Amino acid sequence: MFVPEGFLFSGLSCGIRKENKLDLGLIYSPKELTAWGVFTTNTVKAAPVLLGKRFIKEKEIHGVLANSGVANACTGEEGFKRALTVLKEVAKHLKIPYKSLLPASTGVIGEQLPLEKILPNIPSLISNLSAQNYIQFAKAIMTTDTFPKVVSKKTEEGIVIFGIAKGAGMIAPNMATMLAFILTDAEVSKDYLKKSLPKIVEQSFNRITVDGDTSTNDTVYMLCSNLKKIKNWEKFENRCLEVAKELAYLIIKDGEGASKVVKILIKGAKTKKEAKILATSIANSPLVKTAFYGEDPNWGRIFSALGKSGIKFNPQEVEIYLNGIPWVANFKNVNSEAKIKEEMRKPEIELCIRLKQGKISYEVLTTDLTEEYIRINAHYRT
């Protein structure tokens, strides 16, 4: 695993989560970082999101402080006070401005950060900092995730792009409960990040959905230690997008209760906006998702999901393909149900919808919907 130069990581358990699971993490750079962030568009924004949107504009940034177990959302002024108390305590030990630490939280909405559990563990969190402790940090931000999500790429120039993410449920990014951190040792300006990070997010994290719920805490930060100069910007940008796309894929692969990853591909739409609406309508349809789980070739549900989107198209011209195999044309099966069922049994499926309305394509990754998803979320707090 390639780790970018200039970053240290730490993670430990301070008792926020049950069963002594890691729940407090720190990414730290002794030197100033270039940083930018993209945040949830949910009207209800958690305290760390609102603070992060302010702090990201600061000139001096040194890292990220994250916790799991408590989202610190819908916690009012007390939520802000507690978040600032923790940030100030960490900053005091590191001898840096508290606004140079970007906060991130994930977990139960409506509960306050337990300062009595967090504050005594801050010295240990800092003493545990190491360039190799990224897995500890990755585990410290997990909630219903079943595995830590870490991706690393290296350019031919030796520049490392490194990503850590969490997310399994409440995933429907409008920029999902999803946190992601993209780190690089490249020299990058803040103006560049302001332009490039939203584009990266739009092509990766904003094209996944597990359940159609956009979280109060969604955050993507990109942090640059500025230790290596970029010569080939195109390859650097491609590697950054690859890291983000792989993290997004891992989130879907780990979707709560999911047994399948389903790529919804719209082809032949008039506009990108229409293609996105159509793809998302299918991806978020409980009826389509349960059909994939039950391996039931009920293509009527797909037409229904397309139709409810409000986008105008000619239903009779629509063609449906499954894993590249023709399935439906002119409202009729063009392959045997047995063949389609066989394809639906696979753990990774591509559903392609050809509209014949234009030349625009758009894809979204989603999951099937299982009894396990209901069990996890019915008992999330218990």
177 is catalytic: yes
Query: Rounded to the nearest 5°, which phi and psi values hold at 169?
Result: -135, 175
Distance CA 182, CA 220 (A): 8
Contacts of 224 (CB under 8 A, 6+ apart): 33, 34, 35, 183, 184, 185, 186, 187, 188, 193
Core vs surface per residue 319-344: b (16+ CB within 10 A) or e = bbbbbeebbbbeeeeebeeeebeebb
* Beta bridge partners of residue 68, listed in sequence order: 106
Of 144, 177, 280, 367, which is the active-site residue? 177
- State both tokens at 236: 């650097």
Q: Do the beta carbons of residue 331 and residue 314 sit within 8 Å?
A: no
Please state the φ and ψ torsions of residue 236, each to the nearest 5 degrees: -60, -50
β-sheet bridge partners, residue 36:
222
DSSP secondary structure letter of residue 20: G
Q: Which of 304, 290, 281 is nearest to 209 (CA)?
A: 281
Q: What are phi and psi of 117, to 5 degrees?
A: -95, -35
What residues contact residue 65 under an 8 Å CB cut-off, 6+ apart?
25, 26, 86, 87, 90, 101, 102, 103, 104
SS3 of the chain: helix, strand, coil, percent, to 5:
35, 30, 35
C-alpha 221/C-alpha 29 separation (Å) is 14
Upper half-sphere CA count for residue 352 (Cβ side, 13 Å): 15
Which of 118, 112, 163 shows the shortest CA–CA distance to 137? Answer: 163
Catalytic positions are 177
